[in-house]
A and B are shown apart, each in its own frame.
Chain A
Amino acid sequence: MLRAVSSRLRNHGHGVPAATGGDGHAPADVVEVEVAPGTEAIVVEAAPLFSPSPGGWVARGLVWAAVALVVFVIPLLRDPVEANIYTQAVIYAIIGLSLNVLLGYTGQISLGHQAFVGIGAFTSAYMVTVHGQPFFAAVAVAMAVGALQALVLGAVSLRVTGLYFALVTLSYGLMAQDTLFNIQALTGGSAGQPAPKPAMFQSDYRYYYLCLAFLAAVIWVDWRLMKTKGGRALLALRENPRVAATFGTDVKVYTLMAFVVAGVFAGLGGALLAHNVTSVVLDQFSFQLALIFVLMTVVGGLRSRAGVIIGSAFFSIIDYLVFGKINLDGAINQIPGLPNLPGELAPIVIGPLLLLFTLTTHPGGIGQQIKPVQRWLKGGRFSLHGTGEAEVRVSDVRA
């Protein structure tokens, strides 16, 4: 592996690669070139690597500590009701990452993700309440069921792509809502199914840390997935399935793999969601929820793990945060002629506005905006340039 400065390539009249690839961590003007053994090395010119000053390290450390404080300590200091809301934010992050696998990595849009999540929730509640299984076994079953249904839908997506697949998932979501979630024996019908918290994690705080651990596992799996052969195959598939197939990428296997991963994440998210509120009712999984899942992922920024997590958490607590803390409904109440905007409506009134804003002007979402900060936190130089604006687009979704 050799490092070649791209300005050399430019001098030789070669095309200049526009950006350095998905992660964008490397400085924009350095390209990594693989040189086969036996061939003459072209250029070996090490780019001057940036290293922060001691003060810089301290500043970065402080910011990391602040992030850790918000994630690990702050929820512990709030009352249990609030801890419950933070837990929901963590679970939404898992669901957002699940949708990110489909939307961001395979380019298939799911408008029926509330069904994925709902089936996970009902499965886990059913296993715990009806069969008396322990929590972790129930969660494992929920993940397996999630994988299974994702596999079926993945098989459909191989035949039906783009707009038509979106339509199928939307129809699937509505069908789940009307039919699957109404099967009395499995879901308890309109009364719902109780889903108690596991014995070890009865307190809202402990459950929060449990969900955090699951989120960490999901992030790790997602990160490993994208770093391995499978991840590169998925990226190639999203760019151009035909070209990828020509180069020997097995379209079927990798698409199905992505669907299974997304299904497992969604099943896990659903199960955790069910036990967080200790009961599952079918009204929780309405058609609006699927749209909220899509918009939190898109606003978060496709293929940006940090962006998706922030976006999902934001949409999960937006009603509480904006309306409980800043008391915006008081302000809206002051506008004559408009009725009170209740907090629970915030996601479906403010959310779509953010979505449309993201799509039309900032296609990279939150992930794009925080990229300079992310790079700085990892010990890079703070620079607003080279964030790969052209790279991240919802548009990569296959049509």
Chain B
Amino acid sequence: MTAVLAHRGALTGTAVALAAVLGLVAVGSEQALVIGLITGAGYGLVALGLVLIYKSSGVFNFAQGEFGTVAVYALWAAHTNGIPYVPAIALALLAALAMGLLTERVIIRPLFDAPRVTLLVATAGVSLLAIGVEIWLGEARLRFIQPALGRFDRVSVLGIKVSDQRMLILATLIILAVALALFFSRTNLGLAILAVSQEPVATELMGISVRRLSSLVWGLAAVLGGLGGVLTAGVVQNFGPSFITTSTLIPAFTAAVLGGMTSLPGAFVGGVVVGVVQAFAIDLGGEPVFADIPGPGTLSVFLLLIGVLAVRPQGLLGKAA
């Protein structure tokens, strides 16, 4: 029964996405479509980390965006100090990993039995602390960062040029979504993580270390967040304190909710949908009729979130509750 429902959910999701794509091409907004698709890939990448943590521990991790920002700062610091780009990215991911593990050890573990909203407040605290430290040590100004792949004239989609960096984000996202979906459905470790989220006590009794798995999940999510941050920063090329949190966290959460909060492919699809809706709204905001409405992008994401929660709270790819 659930399989059928999930199947139907997937069909609905695909149908909605397809209809949106066709609609946008029909009204001549290929530009918004392509930009949205690629921006959405960045949202999807952050959403993957959110879903991963929600799936395994039922926590809304508001520090996920800061995993990304911290990684970007680490990349910037390493690269400006003469370390080549690829090793610098590795260092950046290590920084994110360290932050994730530290958060898990110092904050999440002592609050293991606390209700989920307490943990939400705690992760929001971690996020604010990270922002504070970024402003303190990194100054409240924008900094420049190079993309990993500099060329932008090689690939074109629907007649719109797409930079290599953006294609890299898209490819990374697809590979990670598939790999993680396989990890959770095929490997013992993945199944163990799911088991912990459903029945922590029973899982512990089966000889699985809940604590070790919790560390693993937070480390993994932090690395995903770091990767998302590093790649997104390469596209925007400018970053400042709280960069990923203010630009990406809410769209990523909306994407995760849209995808059903527990579905990894859902996070991917949700990210793309949010990206397209947002790009289309920004496109529309340029029209004279809507010129008086400031911040159309943020507004559209807010309305989308409200709409999804009102109409289909289990998300497009989520299982019916």
Contact = CB atoms under 8 A, between A and B. Distances in A.
Nearest to B107: A356
Nearest to B54: A163
A167 B117 contact: no
Interface size class of A (residues with CB under 8 A): 35 or more
A265 to B, nearest CB: 20
Contact of A170 (B117, B250, B295, B306): B250
B110 A163 contact: no
Contact of A353 (B129, B135, B250): B129
Contacts of A18: none
Interface string A326-352: 000000000000110110010011011
Contact of A164 (B111, B114, B299, B309): B309
Interface stretch (A203-211, A288-296, A378-386): A288-296
A174 B298 contact: yes
Interface size class of B (residues with CB under 8 A): 35 or more
Nearest to A354: B125
Contact of B128 (A172, A339, A348, A360): A348
Contacts of B128: 288, 291-292, 295, 348, 351-352, 355
B293 A394 contact: no
B115 A395 contact: yes
A91 to B, nearest CB: 21
A195 to B, nearest CB: 21
B104 to A, nearest CB: 13
Chain A, interface SS category: helix
Given A170-B250, A178-B294, A179-B299, A294 B117 contact: no
Nearest to A292: B128
B246 A174 contact: yes
A183 B294 contact: yes
Contacts, number: 150
Contacts of B7: none
B214 interface: no
Nearest to B253: A167
B246 A287 contact: yes
A352 B126 contact: yes
Contact of B60 (A167, A298, A394): A167
A359 B125 contact: yes
Contacts of A397: 115, 117-118, 121
A359 B111 contact: yes
Nearest to A352: B129
A298 B118 CA distance: 10
Interface string B281-310: 000000000001111111101100110011
A-B pairs with lowest CB-CB distance, top 6: A178-B295, A182-B294, A348-B132, A352-B129, A178-B298, A349-B132
